[in-house]
Amino acid sequence: MINKIIEIINSCETFLITAHVRPDGDAVGSELALYHVLRNMGKQAVIYNQDRTPDVYTFLPAANVITNDIDSVEIFDAAFVLDCSDIERVGEEAKRIISIKKIVNIDHHVANSGFSEISLVDSGASSAGEILYKIIEKLSVPITKDIATNLYTAILTDTGAFCYSNTGSYTFSVAAKLVEAGADPRWIAVNIYEIKPMAQIQLMKETLKTLEIQQDIQTGSIYVSRKMLKDAEALPEHTEGLVDMIRSIKGIEVALICQETSGDNYRISLRSKGKINVEKVAREFGGGGHVNAAACILEGDIKSVKNKLLNAIKNSWV
Ligand SMILES: [Mn+2]
């Protein structure tokens, strides 16, 4: 399949690059790395995401080229859909994007739907960026500092800074090659982990007050309302990392955050230390992700939403 994808890269001229809604470091880093590769090969490329790039990733080389609108999809010879288990994950433009002649899917989610014939899916890979590296190293273009910085960021963020169980020796070998190619681990880490706006810390203070621990199922949960976001002058993206903090508590196996989005809608992020498969829990509610990190959307008042989740987690223990 790698050869088929390389043939598409070599033979096509105009590319659409896209990834999932609420883009994360893997989505943005992989998109930008591929963008630099294609441009360095003299090709045309457009990166489209439904949602804006979180501020934390705007330091990435060429992050400013990412657009949140597409006019016509007819101009594209091929589309790369990155870090998506299903075409619907790209958002409202899914129908138009899927009409592009050649669709290449590069992904590492457990429950990939196989929506594209041309796909490189490896649920054992740390990140879409790690899979993309395998393709890029076979192309006849050098891995520049800009490409390396973007791919390193994709891998760093999706492995929780090389802490998650998706981190293997291959992940480190790719990271090492990216550092050799110019990625600066300290500079990238500072840009990602050490530039939190004060609003994010304010929000953390408020949400930690909502922490509840269910000892019997070793689960910790927190809740973020729209009012909390507003009062802290924080953005929805500033809840990033909160759920990981809850997972880090001694004796906690599962962490969840319920984030109010609109009306009675909650976006749920789930984390596990490894004993519970939270991907299965999320899938029960129409979501998905990875064994130790998953997400879903639930409707209802906060009490019933939490109860449904805690019940599902309880059932996963037996
Ligand atoms: Mn990913």
At 165-184, the pLDDT tens digits run 899 999 999 999 999 999 99
First-residue to last-residue Cα distance in the chain: 40
In this predicted structure, what is the pLDDT of residue 263?
Answer: 83
Q: Judge contact between 159 and 129, C-beta under 8 A.
A: no
Ligand 1 centroid–CA 89 distance in Å is 12
Multiple choice CATH, 2-193, 2.20.70.10, 3.40.50.2300, 3.30.450.20, 3.90.1640.10:
3.90.1640.10
How far apart CA 100 and CA 76 sit, in angstroms, is 7
Q: Judge contact between 23 and 51, C-beta under 8 A.
A: yes
In this predicted structure, what is the pLDDT of residue 318?
Answer: 81
Ligand 1 centroid–CA 293 distance in Å is 10
Ligand 1 centroid–CA 169 distance in Å is 18
pTM equals 0.91
Q: What is the CATH number that goes with domain 198-317? A: 3.10.310.30
Q: Judge contact between 136 and 148, C-beta under 8 A.
A: no
The reply to whether 2-193 and 198-317 are identical in fold is: no
Residue 56, class by beta-carbon neighbours within 10 Å (0-12 exposed, 13-18 middle, 19+ buried)? buried
Give every residue of the chain whose pLDDT is below 70, as ranges.
none
Token pair for 6: 């390389």
In this predicted structure, what is the pLDDT of residue 172?
Answer: 98
In this predicted structure, what is the pLDDT of residue 74?
Answer: 95
74-109 core/surface letters (b: 16 or more CB in 10 A; e: else): eebbbbbbbbbbbbebbbebbeebbebebbbbbbbb
Ligand 1 centroid–CA 216 distance in Å is 31
By three-state DSSP, how is residue 67 classified? strand
Domain ranges across the chain: 2-193, 198-317
Ligand 1 centroid–CA 292 distance in Å is 13
Helices (H), 16-144: 25-40, 94-98, 128-136
In this predicted structure, what is the pLDDT of residue 128?
Answer: 98
Ligand 1 centroid–CA 12 distance in Å is 25
pLDDT tens digit sequence for 200-221 = 999 999 999 999 999 999 999 9
276: left (phi over 0), alpha (psi -120 to 50) or beta: beta
Question: Which residues, including other chains, have CB under 8 Å from residue 25's CB and lie 6 or more apart?
Answer: 56, 57, 153, 154, 156, 157, 158, 192
Ligand 1 centroid–CA 215 distance in Å is 31
CA angle centred on 265, ends 260 and 271, rounded to 5°: 65
- CA-based torsion, 124, 32, 229, 204: positive or negative: positive
The DSSP result for 170-225, as a single string, is: HHHHHHHHHHHTT--HHHHHHHHHS---HHHHHHHHHHHTT-EEEGGGTEEEEEE-
Ligand 1 centroid–CA 307 distance in Å is 28
Ligand 1 centroid–CA 32 distance in Å is 14
Ligand 1 centroid–CA 158 distance in Å is 6
Q: Judge contact between 155 and 130, C-beta under 8 A.
A: yes
How far apart CA 217 and CA 219 sit, in angstroms, is 5
